[in-house]
Amino acid sequence: MSYVAPRLTLRSFPRASTPIRLQRRYARVHDVRFVATQQRTSTIDEKYRAKLEQKAKSEGHESISSLKEAYADKISEHRRAASKPPPGASINTSSPLEPPSPSSSQPQQPTQSSQPPSRGAPGHKVPESGIKPLSSYLDLEKIASLPAKEIELLWRLRHASSPLSLCATIPLDTYRRMYASALQHPQFVLPLPRPASDDGSGDIQTSTDGFGPDAQRTTADVHFLQWGFHPPAKSATPPSGTAAGAGAKSENNHTSTVIFTHLAAFKLHGEHAQPHTTITHHLDLADSHGLVLLNGGVMEGRGVSVDEGRWLLMCLQKFYDFEGHGGGVGRERRQELLKKFSSGDSGFSLEELLDEAERVS
């Protein structure tokens, strides 16, 4: 819980016999977490200098500066297109879901309207938080007696008809480690490999539908993620005979969500930035079957494909389950990157983040 300083006014202090001189300051506070994630132009120029020089010579330019001047209009057009909100996107004016710790600027937690229509228990109402409970997807009473393998199969079949959906089953031990990391680091950034522009500018290609698995990815853009923690579904009751039903502490004590937003859009629009991917973790079967069911989806026309959404989910587990993923290989580096970002350490490096995300472990 963050500390909230008491509100003080001039009336709170005893009046002095002589007037108090006040000095007015015009300081501005900047969030160093996002300053640390900005790449320097000089570093990018040095990295692609050889390619830019070759491009300049092939087109008859004397220098890289001359090449940049020739492509100035096209570069500006690409940057405006990348920062522009998707067509038809509207600002969500509903109340955002509250995260565990307040932040100065946070993207809105959207309702999962992109989910397929509910075929769960009839007459079930979506709670005020906008998060559909697991009972709206599966009949919990009927599946309570099924083994974990059959539940996993039913869960995947439940979402097979939606081309933009994301679903997975997570072992309870894995989720516990991710949950513990998320409580300490509710916000983070993840890289997403993308194809580079063909004009030699070094910019990233953009597409309203993202890119498929066959695209040649030579560069990357950055995406901002945020965890949210909410009360469990009111109708969720542990099956009889489980540890929770016998009076032990239940694992089903919350529902967690994760939203992903383009970092460039978040820095431009702040809390009004539209997320492109949302997921929810359901713990209804954690006590009885040791499973956490994940479901979510990629928003159409937000610049990310389903394959890229799966990549982000893989990276999410890789960094937040730094102790268990890949047998713990490289866990120190992943844990250190989480700590540096959360603390606003200037040593946070996007190159290290990309190297670790692409590392096979």
Alpha-helical segments (H) within the chain: 32-35, 41-47, 49-58, 64-70, 72-83, 140-143, 148-158, 172-184, 263-269, 286-289, 306-320, 331-343, 350-358
As to burial, measured by CB atoms within 10 angstroms (0-12 exposed, 13-18 middle, 19+ buried), residue 132 is buried
* C-alpha–C-alpha distance, residues 289 and 298, integer Å: 28
Please state, in angstroms and as integers, the Cα–Cα distance from residue 345 to each residue in 31, 32, 40, 57, 299, following that order: 11, 8, 16, 41, 32
Q: What is the pLDDT of residues 122-142, one digit of tens each?
A: 445 555 567 899 999 999 999
For tokens 């670790």, the residue is 356
Does this model's pTM top 0.85? My answer is no
Q: Residue 71 in contact with residue 201, Cβ under 8 Å?
A: yes
**3-state SS, residue 261:** strand
Low-confidence winner among 18-22, 153-157, 229-233, 290-294 (lowest mean pLDDT): 18-22
Whether 323 contacts 177, CB under 8 Å: yes
Q: Which two tokens stand for residue 135?
A: 């009972």
| pLDDT level of residue 170 (50, 70, 90 thresholds) | very high
Residue 54, judged by CB atoms within 10 A of its CB (0-12, 13-18, 19+), counts as exposed
| pLDDT band, residue 67 (cuts 50/70/90) | confident
Q: Which residue did the predictor score with more confidence, 239 or 222? A: 222
3-state SS, one letter per residue, for 197-211: CCCCCCCECCCCCCC
Q: Which of 276, 264, 272 lies closest to 312, judged by CA?
A: 276
Per the model's pLDDT, the better-predicted residue between 36 and 191 turns out to be 191
Question: What Å distances lie between residue 73 and 63, 79, 80, 208, 234, CA to CA?
Answer: 18, 10, 11, 21, 56
Main-chain dihedrals φ then ψ at residue 316, nearest 5 degrees? -60, -50
Percent of the chain with pLDDT over 90: 43
User: What is the rounded CA–CA span in Å between residue 44 and residue 40?
Assistant: 7
Q: pLDDT-based confidence at 272, cuts 50/70/90?
A: confident
How does the average pLDDT of the chain come out, rounded?
Answer: 75
